[in-house]
């Protein structure tokens, strides 16, 4: 059974990593993938199944600033068992000017722990130009072609953000944007997004929002995305769902923030997903 729009599933982590698989089953991930494959076959005649897992590997900082390797391990293991024969790709594009994405995947333990998976640096992938209807900042964006050939799972960590308010499933997609088009002034590789950041995140998700999101809220960054205090006590939650606006509204609430005060979530409500009437269900 596929996940319902506007529905967020969660459970308490409690230090038990195996609970993530239970959450993915309860939240309807395999049904979402099946529905996506059916639509793709009807539109393109292809039953090939590529699943792209997009963690947050923004820099060399350890979790909870970056997505813990074990979260992606558990997702990949669930997919290997539940969607046999699928191609599993772990992909991101770091924002660090003096780092390469593969270097950071190695540093964070991904290459060793997920040796059977394929890794892609989205900073270097061939892109297509995607026109945007109803954009707030851009008329179109250059995005990696693979985003449009794969079922995309955004895997953010729970973090406040000094510019965007929060960085969750929708903002996590900035990591997919190539520096060739979005690095300005020699600074952070995605620095163009800092201008009118709320509209920029919204436009990006109009062009390509994730098909599913898995939120690691086991700890949480309380005030900033790159440093400062963690949430005290740790939030101790894992959440999942197919509606990025609902997921991000829920995540904002975990940080004690009103989603209506976060521009890109407010813009996304009713267009990209359902933030205003999302429902929360605890997984068994």
Query: d(Cα 70, Cα 62) in Å, to the nearest integer?
Result: 13
**What per-residue confidence (pLDDT) applies to 4?**
64
CA-CA-CA-CA torsion sign (43, 48, 51, 52): negative
Mean pLDDT of all residues in 188-196: 94
Query: d(Cα 273, Cα 57) in Å, to the nearest integer?
Result: 25
pLDDT surpasses 80 at 5: no
pLDDT, one tens digit per residue, over 207-248 is 999 999 999 999 999 999 999 999 999 999 999 999 999 999
pLDDT surpasses 70 at 201: yes
**What per-residue confidence (pLDDT) applies to 1?**
43
Query: d(Cα 236, Cα 166) in Å, to the nearest integer?
Result: 18
Is residue 109 within 8 A of residue 69, CB to CB? The reply is: yes
What does pTM read for this prediction? 0.97
pLDDT surpasses 50 at 39: yes
| Paired strand residues for 230 | 221
CATH of 7-282, picked from 3.40.50.11440, 3.40.50.300, 3.40.50.1000, 3.40.630.30, is 3.40.50.11440
- Residue whose tokens read 């510019």: 163
């Amino acid at each position: 059974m596929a996940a319902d729009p506007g529905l967020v599933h969660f459970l308490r982590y409690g230090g038990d990593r195996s609970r993530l698989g239970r959450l993915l089953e309860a939240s309807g991930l395999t049904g979402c993938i099946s529905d996506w494959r059916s639509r793709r076959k009807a539109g393109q005649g292809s039953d090939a199944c590529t699943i792209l897992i997009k963690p947050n590997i923004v820099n060399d900082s350890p979790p909870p600033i970056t997505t813990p390797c074990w979260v992606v391990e558990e997702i990949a293991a669930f997919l290997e068992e539940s969607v046999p024969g699928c191609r599993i790709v772990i992909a991101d594009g770091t924002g660090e000017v003096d780092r390469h994405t593969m270097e950071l995947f190695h540093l964070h333990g991904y290459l060793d722990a997920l040796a059977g998976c394929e890794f892609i640096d989205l900073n270097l992938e061939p892109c297509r130009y995607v026109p945007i209807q109803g954009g707030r900042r851009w008329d179109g964006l250059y995005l990696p072609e693979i985003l449009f050939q794969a079922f995309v799972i955004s895997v953010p960590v729970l973090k406040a953000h000094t510019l965007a308010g929060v960085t969750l499933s929708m903002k996590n997609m900035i990591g997919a944007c190539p520096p060739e088009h979005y690095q300005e002034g020699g600074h952070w590789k995605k620095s163009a997004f800092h201008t009118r950041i709320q509209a920029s995140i919204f436009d990006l998700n109009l062009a390509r929002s994730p098909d599913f999101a898995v939120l690691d809220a086991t700890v949480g960054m309380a005030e900033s995305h790159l440093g400062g205090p963690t949430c005290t006590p740790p939030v101790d939650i894992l959440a999942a769902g197919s509606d990025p606006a609902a997921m991000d509204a829920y995540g904002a609430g975990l940080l004690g923030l009103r989603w209506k005060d976060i521009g890109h979530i407010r813009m996304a409500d009713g267009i990209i997903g359902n933030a205003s009437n999302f429902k929360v269900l605890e997984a068994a």
